[in-house]
Structure formats: C-alpha cells, structure tokens
Structure 1
Amino acid sequence: MASARHPQRSGWFSSVLSTTSLVALMVALVSTTATTAWGQLPRTRLTSVTPPVGQVGVTVEVTVAGADIDEVGVMSFSHAGITALQKTTESGGKKTPVANTFVVTIAKNVPAGLYDARVTGLFGASNPMTFAVTSREIVRESEGNNGYDEADEFALGKTVYGQINGAADVDYLKFTGKQGQRVVVDCQATRVDSSLHAICEIYSRVDGRVRQLSFARRQVGHDPVTDVTLPADGEYFVKIYDERFAGSVAHTYLLTAHTGPHIDFVRPAAGVPGTTGTFTLYGRNLPGGQPAGLMLDRRELQKLVVKIAVPKSTTDLSLSGIRVEPVSAGLDAFEYALKADNGVSNSVPIYFATGTMGVEVEPNNTAEKAQKIQVPGDVTGVLQKRGDEDIYEFSMKAGQVFWIEVFSQRIGAPADPYLIVDMVQVDKDGKEQAPKRVTAVDDNGTNLFANHFDTATDDPVYRFQSAGDAKYRVTVRDRNFQSVGSSRHVYRLSIRPEERDFRVVVLPLGQNTGQNSNTAQNYGIALRKGENFLCRALAFRRDGFNAAIEVTAEGLPKGVVCHGTTIGVGQTSAPLVFTATEDAPEMTTSVRLVAKARLDDPAKVTAADAAKKAVVAALAAVPKATAAIKPADDAVKKAQGLRTTAEKKYTADNKVSTDAAKAKTKTDKTAADTKKAADTAQTADTAAKKKATDTAKTAADTKKVSDTAQTADTAAKKKAADTAKAAADTKKAADDAAKKLTAAQAAAKKAADDAAKKKAAEAVKAATAVKA
C-alpha cells in the first residue's frame, strides 16, 4: 500500500500451507545527507495533479502541486504505458524546464482505469495520487460558468474535467438530448483523490422555466451517480458544487454524461475461483436488459444475465478501475466491465466465494417464509425498502464450525448490517416453539491503524459452533432498518468453514506535522543516505488465524537494506524499516514485499484448540473436583476404619477359638491319661482277681486266710469298681466338656467371621458408591 489515501493493492498470493502477500512500494534515494534532526527535514508531498485524467492514445499537459516539491523533474506512473517528460521552453537555443509541469503520453494499449502518479524532486519521491485514463474525449471546464446562461456546453459521451476553485463556487454544464434518452451522469471526485464532496443536480429549462429532474450525492465511493430519462428534446443542465461549499485547486472532478451501460451491482456478488458462473447485472442502459423490479432513486433498474469467468488464482489481482478503501483492503476481488455496442460500462468488483452461490428470494421476511440455503454457502441479498429483513434457514451437525460474515460497507454499499442467529426449537410432537437466541452481532471494531488506515467496519462477523444437530436461522437487517432501505443496500452473506488465512498491507509512515500526532500524513518512501525510513506492516487476520507472520523485502536496490519484520502471534502490526547506506546511489525503484506464515490444517488446529480448552477447563475444575471428592475420601477412610475394627474383632475371636482348641487338646490329653489310669486299674483288678484266686486256691485250708482273702477280695473289687466308675465318669465329663467347647468355638468363630465379612462388605459398598 502506498498511502492511507490511496490504498490500492497490487496483488495477493495464497497457497495451502502458507499465504504470501505481495506489495509493491516505490523507494527513492535522495542525495541529501542525514542529520540528527532528520525527522524535521522536508519530504516531497504531492497534493494535486491537474488535470487528473488523460485519454487513451493522447498526450496531455499536467501540472502538479504539493509541499516541498522543489526541483521536481521526474513524473512516473504505475503503468509502463504512461510516460512523462518535464515541459521545457526554448529561448536562444536553450531549453529551460517549466517548474511542476509535465507532458504525459498515454499509449494506445493502456486500459481505461485508475493509476498511481508520483513525482521525484530534491527531497525524494512523493506519495502517489490518482491519475485516471479514459477512452472518452476530455473537455475542460472554463470558469465563469456560474449560472444557466453561462453554462459550459459539452456533448453526451464526453468527460468534463472541472474545478470548484473557491468557496461557494458552483459549476453549470449543459448538454443537448432527445426525448426518451436515459442519460447517466457520473461525477468522479473522491474516486480520483479530490478534496471535493460533490453534489450533482440535473435540471431542464423549458420556456424559461427551470425544473429539477434529479439530485444525487454519495452514491458510489462518496461520489454522486444519477440518471434521468429525458422528457423532451432540448437542453439539460448539470449543477456541481461542494456539499460544504468549499473549494480549491484540489477540489477537482471528472463528470461524464452518457447513454452507455452503467452497472450498479452484481448478484451474486462473488464467484467460485476457476469457474464460469452465471451472474445478473443490475443497472441502467444495459443492452437487452429487462425490468428488474427494483427501484433506485425512484427509477427502475434493468437486469441482464451474463456469464463471467472467475479467475482461478488470487495472485496479482489488478483493480485498476476501482478505488479500494482501507476498510476493504483485506478482501480479494477482480474487476468486471460490460463491453457493449453502446459503450463500455464502469468497472465493478466481484469477490471470491468458498461455497455454493445463491441470491436472496423474496419474500423471506418471516420465520415461516425463511429462505432455505445450503451451507457452506454465499448469498447476495438486498435490503430494498424500509423494514426489510431477510431470514435464511439451514441445518448443522453437532460440533460443526462455520464463520458467518456479512459484507456490505466493505463492498461499497451504504448498509449497516446487523446479524442475528437463532436455533429452531421443536417440542416432542415436532411443533415449532419459540426460537432460542444464539447471538446478535453488530460492527467489527478491529482497527489496524486508527486515524491513519481505518479498518473498523460496520460489517459483522461471528464464529459459530453448533451444540448439536439442529436447524438455525440467520436474520440480516440494517441497524436502522425501520428507517432505511433501498436497492443500494446490497449485502453478501457468507457462511463458510473455518479457513484461517491473512492479508498484509504495508503503509509508509511520514513525519507528523503540527501538534496533532493523530493526523495522517501522506508520504512516499524517500531515503536519504545513511537514513532509516519507517513503515508499518498491518495484518488482516481471517477466521481466527493467530500465528506469526514474517514480512521480507525482495529486489532491493544497491545500498538499501531491509531486515524484514515479524507480526507476532496475536498481533496486527509490526514496524518495517528500510535503511540506506552512506554510499547508496540515487535512484527511484520499486521493491517487492513478501508476507509468509504457516497455515495448519484447520481441522487439526480446531482439534488442538479444543484440546487446549479442555485442559484449561480440566485444570480450572480441579479445585471443585477436589472439594467434591473429599466426602468420598472421608467415606472411604471411614469404611477402612470399620474394616480395621472388624478385622481386629475377627483376630480376637479367632484367638478365643484358638485358645478353646488348645484347651480341648489339653482336656483330651487328661481324658486319655484318665482312661490309661482306668486301664491300668482294670489290669490291676484282673491281676488282683487272679492273685486272689490263686491265693484262695493255696489258702483254701485256712479259713482265716480265706476270710482275709475274701475281705481283701471284696475290698479290692469295690476299690477297682469305684476306680473304674470314677474313670468312666471322668472320661464322660471330659467328653461332654470337649463337645460343649467345640460347639461354642464353632459358633463363636462363625459369628465373628459373619460379622467381619458383613462389615467389610458394607464398607466397600459404601466407598464404591461415593466414588462413583
């Protein structure tokens, strides 16, 4: 970009992995040596070119004006077919240059359009100013034409170059026409870098009675464009003046009245790259045009269906016939003009789309009549009357991401669009309920370089991710829709997948003058030897693209260095510095700037972003999760305590069982010993019986012995019987005690096991429920 005032770009380049922006800048090297106060040294500034227009194949004399234009001797243009030599006068065989005057020659192969003009003098190359090239014959307005009787006459089809020279100056022009002719009057002022804010009025005069037929201002690029169907043969007058009644040498205009084609807008406003699409032109005097059913300034427009080939690539797009405002500098477009037997139309931009093309179909002002569209898609509509709002309906899958954007101000229309997104809701019976509002979006306030290169726009943009499979409705209306609406209120609704990209503009920065540092100054790049010159690289980021962008310079002349710059992650601008060495030769040349960045797969980037967001959300949820888990942890600890208690009880009960078992073993041993003693007693009894028998046999003769033996036998029998009985009783008691002990031990062990198992199971169940 050469300047904030003339932000016409030279081209763009894009690829799958990276996007490269190309910008051509004019660099001039000046012989003046730099000083410590370099910021106060003068620089060449161009403020007017008179006339700012030339005819194809014709030579024209041009005068320039500006600040610090000392010794200006070179004039150059952005098209090689436009050349200039400084005018000279000859006296005494010696040629003397005429200050600030050039003879400009326009080759026959130069297309009609708008081009950059610069001058170079003692203080370097200037900023650019617009120089128009036309195929029409040019007539110069002469002063003194301040009334109907003094009006300058010109023929239809010619272009009048004029000036509003001073305050309250008014220019009257007149042409002769025939009844029924539809005459288009186009007054270019802002579009050719003029300071004039023109108002254009058309009058008829019959028998001395003047009647206004048309009034126009700020229709196209802040300039007036109007038309009138002539009611009768005769003279018609065009009145031109500044809306603030200002005037100067810089208040110039180019006025053309013709019966040729004029295009007001195109539907659709965009085409798919590399295709030949069907487009409908809306305008006036279109050859073969049909009534469009649309009124503009109370005049019906015509429409004409044409086929237009859309370029496959956006590389090096040229918009020589269209002025591009800073707010529109980030858009890709190509220009189209209709060539017909009745002339060549004005140029209009056609943009590039990424989805199915469509146009608005009325009526679509209510939810019941919402126009169903396919997404991704691109729809061109018109807010053609007061209260008009256009509603579109489409379906989305869960998780789908689309960028919804409305273009109107940026495509040169006067609308201030307002965007509403609603989700369609239905009940269980499929009956539609009140819609759920998703969002309502107004202006996009991103301003890359306020006051110098304003990019804040009235056009809304919104990133939308569907929460589920659903139908959605988008409503487009003007912010002041209850009071505005016309066929000029054209908009383009784009619903596209996330395609991260960028465009870069490079703006030379001049020194500030006066005390207001916010006032934009218009300078070219002029380097003095040993000096630095500061530019600013501005990034239009699209669809959430946030990566770093590297800007480098190529084709630098000898003695000029530029180390490039990086527009950092999330940043929109960065300084770019050109440096001239002390031995750099004087020259004026163009350099090529390249901006590159890596563009990752949008799906992967979206997934990575979603993962990052999920991690952040998870980390943010840790404190809440910890607080939520604490009761569960407490329950687990309590359950573990209950389990420990149960295990201790089980151990104690098991010890009781073990001790009982040991007591039973001891009792069993005692019983065994008692039985053994009984057996011994039995043996003794048997031995005693045997001995008694033997004794009885041997002492049968002696009664005393017999009596003694008998007594002993009886006593022994009784003792043996008592001993045996005692042993049997002891054994029975031991057996009964052992049985009771075994039953008690088993019951105690079973009760302890059951209690421990039940408590442990309950504790584990409680802990599991809490964690879940």
Structure 2
Amino acid sequence: MPSILSVPRFRDAAPGARILCALGLLLAQLCLAPQPVAAQSVALPLPRLLTLTPAGFQRSVAGSEPTTIEVKVSGENLDGWEEGGQYVPPQLLFSHPGITATALLSAEGKPEKDRYLVRVASEVPSGLHDARMMTALGISSGRVCTASDHPETLRTDPAADVSQAFPLAPGIVCNAKATAQVADHYRLELQTGQRVVIDCAARGIESKLRPVLILADATGADLVAERRGGLLDFTAPAPSTYFVKIHDLSFQGGPEFFYRLLVHDLPVGAPLPARQAAVEPVLSFSWPPVGFPATAPAQESEDPDPAAVQQVTLAADAAVALDVAGRFFPAADVDTYQFTAEAGQIWWIEVASERLGAPTNPAVVVQRSLPGAGLVWEDTAEFSDIAAPIKPSTNHYAYDGPPYESGSADCLGKLEIKETGSYRLQIRDLFGGTRDDPQAIYRLVIRKAAPDFALVCWPLHMELRNGDRAALSKPLALRGGGTVSLEVAAIRRDGFDGPIELAVSGLPEGVTATGLRIPAGATRGQILLTAAESPPRAFAGVAISGKGLINGQSIERPCRLAGHCWPVRDGWSEIPFPRLIPETLVSAGGLEKAPLTLRSTAPEPIEVAEGGSFTVPLELLKRGEVSGAQFQMRVIGAGFEQQPGFELNVAAPAPVTFDLAKLKIPPGDHVLAFITSAVTKYAPAAVTKLAPDAVGEAQPPAAADVAEILVSQPVHVRVTPATKEATP
C-alpha cells in the first residue's frame, strides 16, 4: 500500500540542500540527454508508428452509430507512395476490423499529414488493439491503443500547478502526456470517507513514462505518493478539493511519455479494481500450458495465521492433481500445501506469477516429514527460475545475447517421490519480504507429465562488437530481394526433447518462408523470410508455428512474435522493453530493394549421399556501394553450424564446400544459410512529389554508411542414404 509521506518543497530546503538538488537534477539531465549519433548507423530505415494521440477511445454502445474520433500519429518513415500517377497517403490500420480510419481532409480536399478520422464500432471488444501504418516502405511497427467502456477526454493545455489543474471525475479516462521537469496537476472533489483508486496506465500501453502518482491536499501539500506501479488507493479524511500530481520518475516528458488516467470510486474495504489493459511481456509466451483454463478452479485459503497449512490430495490417477490461485500477501507470506505421496510417483510442478504480470520472484521448496522425529521436515526438492532458451543480453544490447527475455523467474521442474510419506510444499516470493502488494498473485499447478513446448520469435538482432548499443523495433517490411531472419526460442515442458519443425503460412504474394529446424534437445532455431526481386505491394497476417512428435502424435503449436516497443539506439541511456505482438504482419513490394542479395546458383535441392561432400556456388548481387573487400561469414541451419566460418570475397565469391562425414548430417531434407553483418552506402529513395507536403525539387539526401544483417537466401540440401556395398 502507498505510504504517508511528508515531502518538503524545493524552495523550503536549506541553501546547501538546494545546491545539491540542483546539481543532481543537472547531472540527471546530462545523463539522459541524447548521445551523439555515430557516422555509421545500425539497420536500414523501417517504418515505425511511435505515437497515437489520444492513446485510446470509447467504443460505441451496442446498436448505436460508431464512435468517431480524430487521431494524430507520429513516427519514422511514415510516407505515402505513388500508384498509377496518384498519391496514396499512408494508411492507418487496426488489428480489429471494427476500427477503421480515413485520412482527415483539409478545406481543399487534400489529406492532412498525420491526421485521421477513426471510427470504432460497437462490436469492438474493450481492451488493447494494435494500430499500424501501411507506408512507402511497407508495414510499420505497431502501437497499442485502448478501446474502453468509459467516456474519454484529452488534456492538451498545460497543468503545471494547482491553478492550472485539470478537473477529474470518477469513471472518465483522461488521455495526456507528461510534461518534462514538472508534475501534471489534476483537481478532484471528494467527500469525507470517499475512497478513490487512481489508475495510471503507462508502461502497460507502451509509454516510456514511469509514473509517480502523488495525492495532495487543497494547498498542494503532498499526502500520499506511489512510485512503483501507477496505482494509488486513497480515502478522503474530509470533504475538500484534492490534487493528483503525475510526473515521470526522472522528470522526462513529451509525446512518447503518454498515459491514461482513470479514477475509480469504490466502497471502503472493496477489493482493488482490475487494472487497465496492458501488453504482454515476452516471457509470458510459455503460459498457460495447452488445455488449462484461464483461471484456476481453486483458490488458496487466506488464513491470517502464518502457520496455517492447506491439506491437498494428489490422486494417483489425476492428470492435474492441484491447480490453485493464490497471493504473496501480506509481506513475507509463505503458503504451505501438505499432501501424502507414495514412492515412485513423479509430479511436475509449475508456478506462474511473473508471467501473470506480477513483479515477483517465486520459489518453491518441497519437504518430507521425517518418521518418528515429530514435526521435523527435510528438504527434498527446490524449484526456482525457468532458464532462458536463448541467453538474453545482460546489458540490454546484443553483446552476449538478444535483448529479449524468454526465460522467467517462475518455476518449472520435476518432483520424484523417493519414499512414501507426508510432504509439504511451501511457496514464497523472494522479493516479498517487506512488500505488501495484494496484486502479487500466483498460480500453482501440480500435474502428471504432459510433454509439450511453447515458441516465441523475434527479428534477429545484430551482434556488433564495435560499441553498438541498439535494440530496434523491426517490423517485417521486406525489401525486394531481401531475406530477414527470425530467431525462434523454445521452452520445453515436462521432458519433451524431440526436434521441432518450423513453418509460416498465409504469406503475401512474392514472399516465401523457410524454417530452420530446432534440433532434438535444442532450444533455438531460425525462420527465413525471403522477398522476390520485385514483389507486388501487399501485406498479410501470417501464422508462425512449430510441429513436434509427442507420444507418437504430431503436435502443432503457435509461435508468438515479439518486438521492441521503441527503437532504442543507445542502450546506455535507455533500457529497451519488448512485448508480445498479437498479430504477425508481413509486407513486401515497398519503395526500395535490399542493398545486397546473397544466393546460391546451384539447382535445388542439392543432392548428396550420406557421408559425401557438396559445394555451394554463391552469387552476391550489389545494388549499392559496399564497405570492405571481404565479409566474415558463418553458416546457420541444424547440423551445419559446425562448419568453420570463412571469408567471402565481395567482388567474386568463392564456392563453399561441406564435408558431411565431418558434420555427421543424417539422411533427409536439410536447410542452411549464410549470415554476416555488412556495411553499405544507403540513400533513401525519393518520396513521391505528389505528397501534400512535398517541397519542389528538394536536394536528395547524401548516402551514409549503414550496418545491417545480411542473410543469404536458403539453400536446400537432400542427403540420401549411403549405398551399402554388396557382400561377396
């Protein structure tokens, strides 16, 4: 719960304290200031939708006309294009067909730049929906927007002090953006004993804001502050005007620091309301297990006695012996579940808490009661973190791993009962020793083995060693002749260790996909998306999946796509935060072609006998100036990663030979590809002169060095069984 604070004002501090405070603020500003841009940029330009103002809207009532709202967008490379001699403005698209947008027209009948009329039909469900732009370069990255059942308002005027405070009322959502260096002020009229819960949605709707909520009295003096989660619970001691102050934790502000403020009017003692909808963190892709209900069928007994024990029965013939929801509440809470088990039983224990959005680190210990020793318990098993399938970056850039966390602080492990007897399972939050948080929820499952897997993927992140700190949002907007690699991570559940075949369906015309198998026991694979030389302009929603053989049956599981909420170009000054993307869109046929295309010129598939060797002749198509005479190449593809790296001559690539006897590649169909990072001279293609904001004969921008991942088109190899010599 928020604590009562007495916060001195800056002008009331002693002179020395004011100097130290000013120096601290100056240092913070210097640390947060944008860093100089290096001469060499990372990654080719891509369209990115960065802000949508307002960040949400009220959906219409069933049976009524659609709600209409004016929306302003901003981003990178959100240009329109020319088609049939006509200008086509960039199109604002939404993940639900009931949300549509048309360009806002000026008095002259021309589309206004970055402004749209959005219509929200009554069939649109409340919650988050993705918005994107179709642009000259293809489909943009997404930005979530919220459809709500509440009336909405937009604050545009300054609210830097109590005299400018914006009026708030319970049940109305206020959309706003944080102001740098000051707090936004809101006015709230409350009666004696009236309880309000103030919910500030920020990080959950992809804002950069880390909100600090303060409730002040009629004079502006602070009463209550909340700095952790954007939720403040307050009961008025007297009828009065109160003020709500909001600022970023480091007092940053601007369009990227948007938020949605909602005040709930609740009876004293009522449970906290559901939070405003929030995006899913990447690590949540592995929850829930297939077939499990969205909510647990049982609830923990919240006995105030810390020594309370909950008796459970682990039925030997039950597939799921226990599925219970609980809370790490109050502080230092330890929940105990006691049961009897027989020697030889094997159970799998899984806990979800961080994957449910709680800021927790659950830990489980299982103990056995020692016979004849009274109440003496002996540890038999401990369960903690779910290891990341691919080691993530430890410094938020690709120096030692991708900037995505696919592991979790949650628990998953096998419990083998060695001796018949009485056992107890204790679950606690390692972060919860002093924190009272009723939203620190968990779900505990004890089940028989159900081998399975869960998949997540993201655009391959560049691994430069020259000080690059970029973690970029990368929409799947393919340039003609280009190949993009998706890195796939697998969480294996309950002992499943078979190979996983990867596939993509529903691709737009001119785009093909090739899955590089996840080998048995491995947790990493890749998918290659390749665009034809001149594909038609199009985009499509695609389905990415993986297939595995479990207990003799082919099982297919979806693969979720992850992406960064913001393009972070310097990980030293800004920590990236990614999320799961609900809809995977792929586009091709944009304004530009890939600067490089690396491909095999051999007929495919290349056929070779088991234990033999084969050669891949290579061709490098260059559509611009290349920096350097050689590329340091490596090979990807199940079994082929053992192939030594090699130098590729940019002017005349030499063929590459593979020895299957050394690589121990078994018979069957296989796929490999070549990968490196390359620096090319890049100059953006000219935007159509028909655009409303086109400026005469503008000077084209100069070409600049851009480092980008170069992935070859896939090479298909068919290995046939070796012919056995006849015995004389």
What secondary structure does 2:283 align onto?
helix
Which residue is equivalent to 2:283?
A: 327
1 or 2, which has the higher strand percentage?
Answer: 2
Q: Kindly tell me: are residues 139 and 469 of structure 1, through their superposed partners in 2, closer, same or farther at Cα, counting changes over 3 Å?
A: same
Give the whole-Å Cα distance in 1 for the aligned partners of 2:310 and 2:354: 23
The DSSP-based 3-state class of the residue aligned with 1:144 is coil
Instruction: Tell me how far apart the structure 2 counterparts of residues 512 and 320 of structure 1 sit (CA, whole Å).
Output: 36
**1:599 paired residue number:** 550
Counterpart residue identity of residue 444, structure 1: I
Deviation readout 1:300-323 (Å, 9 max, x if unpaired): 44499xxxxxxxxxxxxxx99442
Kindly provide the amino acid, as one letter, of the partner of residue 195 in structure 2: R
Pairwise CA distance, 1:540? 2.3
Aligned partners of 1:389 and 1:481 also within 8 Å: no
Q: C-alpha displacement at 1:480, in angstroms?
A: 4.8
Q: What amino acid is aligned across from residue 392 of structure 1 in structure 2?
A: Y
Equivalent in the alignment of 2:210: 197
- Give the distance between the partners of 1:333 and 1:456, measured in 2 at CA: 15
Deviations 1:618-639 (A, max 9, x none): xxxxxxxxxxxxxxxxxxxxxx
Q: What corresponds to 1:528 in structure 2? A: 479
Conservation of the 8 A alpha-carbon contact between 2:353 and 2:443: yes
Q: Aligned ranges for residues 513-592 of structure 1 at < 5 Å?
A: 516=467, 519-592=470-543
Q: Distance in 1 between matches of 2:168 and 2:436?
A: 35
Q: Match of 1:58, as an amino acid?
A: T
Indicate the structure (1 or 2) with the bigger Cα radius of gyration.
1
The answer to whether 1:55 aligns with 2:6 is: no
Q: How far is the alpha carbon of 1:363 from its aligned partner?
A: 5.5
Q: What corresponds to 2:90 in structure 1?
A: 73
81, 87, 90: which one pairs with 2:104?
Answer: 87
Normalising by structure 1, report the TM-score: 0.58
Mapped contact 1:360–1:380 kept (Cα < 8 A): no
CA drift of 1:513 comes to 9.5
Q: In structure 2, do the counterparts of structure 1 residues 210 and 566 end up closer, same or farther at CA, with 3 Å as the change threshold?
A: same
Determine whether 1:255 maps to 2:261. yes
Cα deviation digits, residues 288-308 of structure 1 (max 9, x gap): xxxxxxxxxxx844499xxxx
Residue 360 (structure 1) aligned with residue 301 (structure 2): yes
Alignment of 1:180-579 (within 5 A): 180-205=193-218, 209-210=219-220, 212-219=222-229, 224-259=230-265, 285=267, 300-302=269-271, 321-332=277-288, 351=294, 357-362=298-303, 365-366=306-307, 369-375=308-314, 376-427=321-372, 432=374, 434-448=376-390, 450-451=392-393, 452-480=403-431, 482-509=433-460, 516=467, 519-579=470-530
User: How far apart are 1:524 and its partner, in Å?
Assistant: 1.0
Matches within 5 A, 1:8-157: 40-56=43-59, 57-71=66-80, 73-91=90-108, 95-157=109-171
RMSD: 3.0
CA deviation string 1:600-658 (max 9, x = no partner): 179xxxxxxxxxxxxxxxxxxxxxxxxxxxxxxxxxxxxxxxxxxxxxxxxxxxxxxxx
- How far did residue 563 of structure 1 move? 2.5
8 Å Cα contact 1:393-1:474 kept in structure 2: yes
- Summarize the Cα distance change of 1:302–1:333 in structure 2 as closer, same or farther, 3 Å threshold: farther
Structure 1 counterpart SS, 2:286: coil
Work out whether residues 179 and 247 of structure 2, in 8 Å CA contact, stay in contact via their aligned partners in 1: no
SS across alignment from 2:204: helix
Local SS of the residue matching 2:549: coil
Shift of 1:195: 0.5
Q: Is the 8 A contact 2:389 2:490 kept in 1?
A: no
Question: How far did 1:143 drift?
Answer: 3.3
Q: 1:38 to 1:124 in 2, by over 3 A?
A: farther
Measured after TM superposition, the shift of residue 255 of structure 1 is 0.4
Cα displacement string for residues 338-366 of structure 1 (whole angstroms, at most 9, x for unaligned residues): xxxxxxxxxxx97355xx73413425644
Closer, same or farther in 2 for the Cα pair 1:363/1:173, shift >3 Å?
closer
Matched residue of 2:106: which SS? Answer: strand
For residues 167-224 of structure 1, give each alpha carbon's deviation from its aligned partner in whole angstroms, at most 9, with x where no partner exists.
x13100113233333222111111111000011112231xxx44544322333xxxx1
Higher-helix-fraction structure: 1
Gap regions ≥5 residues in structure 1:
1-36, 260-283, 286-298, 305-318, 335-348, 603-772
* CA distance in 2 between partners of 1:464 and 1:480 (Å): 24
Q: How far, CA to CA, are the matches of 1:98 and 1:449 in structure 2?
A: 46
Distance 1:501 1:588, change over 3 A: same
Give yes or no for contact 1:565–1:576 (8 Å, CA) kept in 2: yes
- Cα 1:157–1:364, aligned 2, differ >3 Å: closer, same or farther? closer
Cα displacement string for residues 525-569 of structure 1 (whole angstroms, at most 9, x for unaligned residues): 011222212212222221222111122122222211112332221
Cα distance per residue 1:62-91 (max 9 Å; x no partner): 222222223361111110011112223243
> Aligned partners of 1:217, 1:442: CA distance in 2, in Å?
28
Contact 1:361 1:371 in 2 (8 A): no
State the Cα distance separating 1:111 from its structure 2 match: 1.7
Deviations along 1:6-39, one digit per CA (max 9) or x if unpaired, are xxxxxxxxxxxxxxxxxxxxxxxxxxxxxxx998
What is the CA deviation profile of residues 642-687 of structure 1, one whole-angstrom value per residue up to 9, with x for unaligned ones? xxxxxxxxxxxxxxxxxxxxxxxxxxxxxxxxxxxxxxxxxxxxxx
Q: Aligned pair count? A: 483
Q: Partner letter of residue 597 of structure 1?
A: G
Distance in 2, matches of 1:154 and 1:392, equals 46
Q: Structure 2 unaligned runs (5+)?
A: 1-39, 60-65, 81-88, 315-320, 394-402, 554-728
> Contact 2:360 / 2:432 at 8 angstroms: preserved in 1?
no
Cα separation, partners in 2 of 1:50 and 1:446, compared to 1, 3 Å: same
Mapped partners of 2:455, 2:485: distance in 1? 16
Contact map agreement 1:512 1:521 (CA 8 A) in 2: no
In structure 2, give the amino acid aligned to 1:324: E
CA distance in 2, matches of 1:365, 1:571: 43
